[in-house]
Homo-oligomer: A and B are copies of this chain.
């Protein structure tokens, strides 16, 4: 398996091919899984059985997503609930997604001091002690999300991993949750900047060395679609940074809200939906849950195309 193109360029090509910027968030909320996977909720079942049910549900989602969307984003927390068995399920889902031609963004939000951050970069992007050809390892992700609270030396090892493995990164800048303003929107002394603005400037800097032929950096940023005005301003601060926009659908953001993150047609950002797609069947009793999920992906792709191409 030959060295892949830089993440930014693979992302650009995947969006072009799918003709939409949808990323399906693989968040297996146990309470919401379709009934045929109810064993995942069964406290009397073993962790292995429960994790296996989660895996089987997501493998079905991945099969539906293949060819429809450019990327999936497995949320590590819901797998880690089942410990080692859950992490095995995570790896199986990552491998199946890549096999199906989908980019995989590991939503792990790790952040730690330098030598520990290097270990996390190995865990998700390059393999233990740096695999010779990490892209050939089925369990490694194409990109990962990281937390900036510890500053540059917590990001540098991930940035190095991006270069070594042609992988990508999404640094949390302004998250989609209700209390994200508590620290991220604090105004800093001696400037008009918020903390999120300052993190955005740092992300722009960290990404300068890994700009691909597409003109985009492989170091991206997470900005909640639930803050449309800030999204536009942050896009201006990070002109080459691919954005990952959570908050669409279940969290309240609309297709119009995400426009500020895009620069050229369908490019510049990925828009995540998790619950709105995975559990679409709960609102469509007339359809099998697979058909409801498939329909929800198509609807979202169409909505975004409508908002971005007109």
Could you tell me the distance in whole angstroms from the C-beta of A58 to the nearest C-beta in chain B? Answer: 15
Indicate whether A142 reaches chain B with its CB closer than 8 angstroms: no
Known: A91-B84, A112-B109, A195-B195. Is A151-B182 also a contact (CB below 8 A)?
yes
Q: Nearest B residue to A43 by beta-carbon distance? A: B129
Taken together as a complex, chains A and B put the C-alpha atoms of A150 and B50 apart, in Å, by: 29
Known: A183-B195, A186-B198. Is A50-B128 also a contact (CB below 8 A)?
yes
Indicate whether A199 reaches chain B with its CB closer than 8 angstroms: yes
Interface pair A112/B47, CB less than 8 Å apart = no
Pick the residue among B78, B87, B184 that contacts A83 (CB under 8 A): B87
Interface pair A123/B83, CB less than 8 Å apart = yes
Residues of B within 8 A of A152 (CB): 179, 182
Indicate whether A120 reaches chain B with its CB closer than 8 angstroms: yes
Q: Mark out the residues of chain A between 3 and 51 whose CB falls within 8 Å of any chain B CB in the assembled complex.
A: 27, 29-30, 41, 43, 47, 50
Indicate whether A214 reaches chain B with its CB closer than 8 angstroms: no
Interface pair B81/A91, CB less than 8 Å apart = no
Pick the residue among B30, B129, B139, B154 that contacts A179 (CB under 8 A): B154
Could you tell me the distance in whole angstroms from the C-beta of A196 to the nearest C-beta in chain B? Answer: 10
Pick the residue among B109, B114, B181 that contacts A177 (CB under 8 A): B114
A residues at B contact (CB < 8 Å): 27, 29-30, 41, 43, 47, 50, 75, 77-78, 80-88, 90-91, 109-117, 119-120, 122-124, 128-129, 131-132, 139, 147-154, 172, 175-184, 186-190, 195, 198-199, 202, 246
Nearest 8 Cβ contacts at the A-B interface? A151-B179, A151-B182, A77-B119, A84-B88, A80-B123, A113-B177, A187-B189, A153-B179
